[in-house]
Amino acid sequence: MLKGRNLIKPNDLTVSEIDEICGLAEQIIVDPNSFSDVCRGKILATLFFEPSTRTRLSFEAAMLHLGGAVEGFSDAANSSTAKGESLSDTIRTVSSYVDVIAMRNPKEGAALVASQYSNCPIINAGDGGHYHPTQTLTDMLTIRALQGGFEGHTIGFCGDLKFGRTVHSLAEAMSRYKNNRYIFISPNELQVPEYVTQELDEAGIEYTTAERLESVIGDLDILYMTRVQKERFFNEQDYIRLKDSYILDNQKMSLARKNMIVLHPLPRVNEIAPEVDNDPRAAYFKQVKYGMYVRMALIAKLVGVL
Ligand code: NCD
């Protein structure tokens, strides 16, 4: 039963609940009109204490396509947080107006705290460098559509694996499926944190690390590119030194398999050259579309209308 539940980290959902949400998203893709009224009278609040384009707008578009309404803020400076209000008080207040809240906050653990004070489901739309479970659902729906399922993939995670919450979330979520293997491609300073590798060890996932993308790209079924997370660096010099560590271009793509797909949560900065956009293996703009449909499915389930 998904009605009334929170989604803080990807593994809050069981494997069969992920199937249920992806299955509903696929039904919506086939016949969106028959879902255009299911959330009539329901309200989604989007509380974004950190910048966003896709995540916030896709949540809002998702609710509008379901016939519901949206309210919220996209900048903490426009909310009572600027007057010193605590997160718990903001959540107590907003959750008495609406049916579901999608929240992004720069602090790790903020969504979990919010869920302890909320009268309605909280969806974590990113908590600092921690987790981003709806991006994971987006990634998984894309993988299911383009690579036929969740098992038996060699996945290369490339870029900022230290601060990239989308990486932490997807790595944990895919570790529950059989025969997946990971290659973590990053500069030494941006390696995946220990709390993630610990989970992978517990799940018995095989993973290796690499510093050069060229040396492993030919082994991959899925290449998950990420941006170096400027906003999480303490020191601008370190960011400048590391920001262009990886640039995927047509030359590197020529070393990859014909059926590999390239995913990226976006926004991209320099890490994928625009020339790659025309390669049929570039799936990051399709991924954007899947993100809206999977959020439609998730909202409908948590609100309890489907
Ligand atoms: C990601 C995020 O916010 O973590 N973006 C997104 O939600 N699509 C990735 C990023 O900002 O690099």
Domains and their CATH numbers in the chain = 10-132+289-302 (3.40.50.1370), 134-288 (3.40.50.1370)
pLDDT given at position 216 = 98
Would you state the structure tokens that stand for residue 168, as one six-digit string? 């932490």
Quote the ligand 1 centre to 34 CA distance (angstroms): 30
Do 91 and 6 form a contact (C-beta atoms < 8 A)? no
Would you state the structure tokens that stand for residue 210, as one six-digit string? 């690499």
Please, what is the end-to-end C-alpha distance for the chain in angstroms? 11
- The parts of the chain modelled with pLDDT lower than 70 are none
Do 224 and 213 form a contact (C-beta atoms < 8 A)? no
**Tokens 């578009």, located at residue:** 61
Cα–Cα distance for residue pair 47/69, rounded to 1 Å: 14
Choice from 48, 56, 60, 132 to test ligand 1 binding pocket (greatest atom count within 8 A of CB): 132
Whether the CA torsion 250, 251, 256, 262 is positive or negative: it is negative
Quote the ligand 1 centre to 139 CA distance (angstroms): 12
Of ligand 1's listed atoms, the one at least distance from the Cα of 265 is 8
Do 286 and 142 form a contact (C-beta atoms < 8 A)? yes
Of 210, 194, 77, whose CA–CA distance to 154 is shortest?
210
**Residue 281 is labelled as binding a ligand:** no
Write the DSSP symbol of residue 7.
B
> DSSP characters for 215-227?
TTGGG-SEEEE--
Of 142, 122, 101, whose CA–CA distance to 294 is shortest?
142
Quote the ligand 1 centre to 56 CA distance (angstroms): 11
pLDDT given at position 215 = 97
pLDDT given at position 78 = 86
Over residues 226-271, the pLDDT tens digits come to 999 999 998 999 999 999 999 999 999 999 999 999 999 999 999 9
Of ligand 1's listed atoms, the one at least distance from the Cα of 104 is 3
| Percent helix / strand / coil, the chain, rounded to 5 | 45, 15, 40
User: Would you call the peptide bond into 121 cis, given omega within 30 degrees of 0 as the criterion?
Assistant: no
Ligand 1 pocket, residue 128 CB under 6 Å: no
The beta-strand segments (E) located in the chain are 43-48, 69-73, 100-105, 122-127, 154-158, 181-185, 206-210, 222-225, 261-263
